[in-house]
Chain A
Amino acid sequence: MKTLRMLGVAGTVVAGLVITACSGGDDDAAPPPTGVAVPVPESAGSSSAAFFSFLTGLSLGDETSEPYLVPDSFAVPADESDDVKKLG
């Protein structure tokens, strides 16, 4: 039973944030990028629920933004006991 629970726990870590942080300007002949890299909000790391909420709130159609910067201090919650959150 404990094993099953642990497997379930592992399954709750359903969200991953790619922590690539790009920087640098775009072409000299191009219009300025509409997105400016900013840090991931600290609140996104306050709990697995907050992290899930942050991730599901990200735009599905963003073509112009730079990725969020992910500071070393940002700790992605890895809750070992939550159930998998349902997606709508």
Chain B
Amino acid sequence: MKNCPYSVHSVGRAVAVLSLGLGAVLSTAPAAFASSHREAPFIAGQAQVDATDLYMFRSYEAGRQDFVTILANYQPFQDPQGGPNFYMFNPNALYEIHIDNNGDGVEDITFQFRFKNTSKAATLKVGGKDVKIPLINSGVITGVNPLTLNVRETFSIDVLQGGRRGGKRTSITNSAGGSAEFDKPVDNIGDKVFGGTTGYAAYANQHIYNVAIPGCATPGRVFVGQRKESFYIAVGKTFDLINLNPLGPEVNGNNNDLEGKNVSTLAMEVPIACLTAGTETVIGAHTTASLRQGRVLDGSPPTGFNKVPRGGGAWTQVSRLGMPLVNELIIGLDDKDKFNSSKPVNDAANFADYVTNPVLPALIQTLFPAAVAPTNFPRTDLLTVFLKGIDGLNQPKGVVASEMLRLNTAILPTPADIQNPLGVAGKDNAGFPNGRRPADDVVDLSLRVAMGALCVLTGATDTLKVGCKPSDAPAGSLALTDGVRKSAANYGVTFPYLTTPLPGNFNPAPAAGTVYPAN
């Protein structure tokens, strides 16, 4: 961890120029699907280690602008009612957030999250015998790790400087007391368990920790726990051969299919100076989850909690996520597992064809013939935005092509009330693709970029250095959309920004046409 000087305003002018152009094109054009939910064959059966979304932005909470917030979401499509076990993190997995701070495509800092679940084996006396209860709580829950919580879920965070496996390892500790073990709040079982409709929020907030990060002079913050699903999209219609009008209303054109879901979040807030190195202000991030390479299932597990699997061997990466929608929409079906197991530095060798000759625009043209796919091959515009960052905005010096979410930490955050969910395209330089905030509409933006919006934006003289021109992208100025949009007002304005998860007692209205038997 390095405390390095940086200039907050060093690239402001270049970005301002870029913003004007992007805004003119992208805010009137379209984009892409679930960010990374169940996107690959193997991970679709491994929900606990399925990374769904990664956010990274300069904190816009008042007084916290010198920090970067990183949110890594896991475990997609959580129904709030999913008891009795709900959605614990996998204690046999390794969850990581990697930071590349010199543009070489290789992690320089890695935050490793590990979980431990401990059953308290709570009992109830029944007919004179103490019998273990079948639930993860035995009553109302208040405070951190109360007696009524039957399964205590804790986690630790290691920091590795250098490679993720061979780097120097230290542990993050609680600023209050110095412990390296943190309690995770149990999921939102329901309003009655937490004493009312506001009970869970108050309970969960007690699990936001001020933390000491080794080598970092200023404390950071950490929260790990369930949140309301933050990604928004008309995903069902999208997979149904884009069964919607991609030129329809951008707001309220369709419903958000994920509105009734929860997700599990790893949230960190780290001082900018502890993530950057030297004079480079751009950092790249991606999150991964790994399992032990070998696993044996116990056919006769002993009494205890989670005793069936026993893992051993090297940590083996099975999930990877940087920029949204890459593995979902760009990587071919047969290479999705490979992508999830790969490292960014090898992207050009492994997956270049999917980016330079993408299938998605051709599919869109097939479904909507008026939306003619770009004709510039190789698609250097997509290589730029996904693997390098845009020059003058979020491209590190000497960048090695590698897919990750890149943030220029020198760009000031935009307060929540004036954020534009189209990010840079909406003249808001603190948003996507310069990092990503919860409300940024990466679906619409990705669709538009796929159809050549950058080729239109860069103009005949290619001011953005993306290697194409407006005539290459006949549909590059179309306002493609899935019809779903949110704003920062739909999220929190303080760490961890993502909102309180839906309670398990959420009881949805019956589907239209439901007929009940007569009493």
Residues of A at the B interface (CB closer than 8 Å) are 11-12, 14-18, 20-35, 52, 54-60, 62-68, 84-87
Contact = CB atoms under 8 A, between A and B. Distances in A.
Nearest to A54: B294
Contacts, number: 136
A24 B343 contact: yes
B297 A15 contact: yes
Nearest to A29: B162
Contact of B108 (A29, A63, A85): A29
Given A23-B346, A32-B166, A16 B312 contact: no
Given A18-B318, A58-B312, A52 B296 contact: yes
Given A18-B294, A21-B341, A25-B345, A34 B166 contact: yes
Contacts of B294: 15-18, 54-55, 58
Interface centre among A29, A32, A52 (most CB of B within 10 A): A29
A33 B314 CA distance: 12
Contacts of A65: 165, 313-314
A58 B292 CA distance: 9
Given A11-B299, A16-B295, A58-B293, A30 B314 contact: no
Contacts of A12: 299
B341 A20 contact: yes
Contacts of B298: 14, 87
A60 B312 CA distance: 4
A22 B312 contact: no
Contact of B299 (A16, A28, A33, A86): A86
Interface string B300-329: 100000000011111111100000000000
B295 A28 contact: no
Contacts of A62: 312-315
20 contacts: A20-B317, A20-B337, A23-B343, A24-B342, A25-B106, A26-B106, A26-B107, A27-B162, A28-B106, A30-B162, A31-B168, A55-B295, A55-B313, A56-B296, A58-B312, A60-B311, A64-B166, A65-B165, A86-B299, A86-B300
Given A16-B297, A18-B292, 16 more contacts: A14-B296, A18-B293, A26-B167, A27-B167, A28-B104, A29-B108, A29-B161, A31-B162, A56-B296, A56-B310, A58-B293, A65-B313, A67-B293, A67-B316, A68-B293, A86-B299
Interface residues of B, number: 38
A20 B290 CA distance: 10
B167 A14 contact: no
Interface centre among B108, B169, B341 (most CB of A within 10 A): B341
Give chain A's interface secondary structure class. loop
A20 B299 contact: no
A68 B293 CA distance: 8
Contacts of A31: 162-163, 166-168
A80 B345 CA distance: 42
Given A15-B296, A23-B346, A24-B346, A30 B313 contact: no
B164 interface: yes
Interface string B49-93: 000000000000000000000000000000000000000000000
Contacts of A84: 299-300
B277 to A, nearest CB: 9
B291 A33 contact: no
B455 to A, nearest CB: 32
A59 B163 contact: no
State the 4 A-B residue pairs at the shortest beta-carbon distance, nearest first.
A26-B163, A30-B162, A58-B312, A84-B299
Nearest to B338: A20
Nearest to A58: B312
A23 B347 CA distance: 12
Nearest to A33: B166
Contacts of A24: 342-343, 345-346
A49 to B, nearest CB: 13
A17 B162 CA distance: 28
Contacts of B318: 18, 20
A37 B49 CA distance: 23
Nearest to B160: A30
Contacts of A55: 294-296, 312-313
Interface centre among B165, B293, B316 (most CB of A within 10 A): B293
Given A11-B299, A27-B167, A30-B163, A22 B341 contact: yes
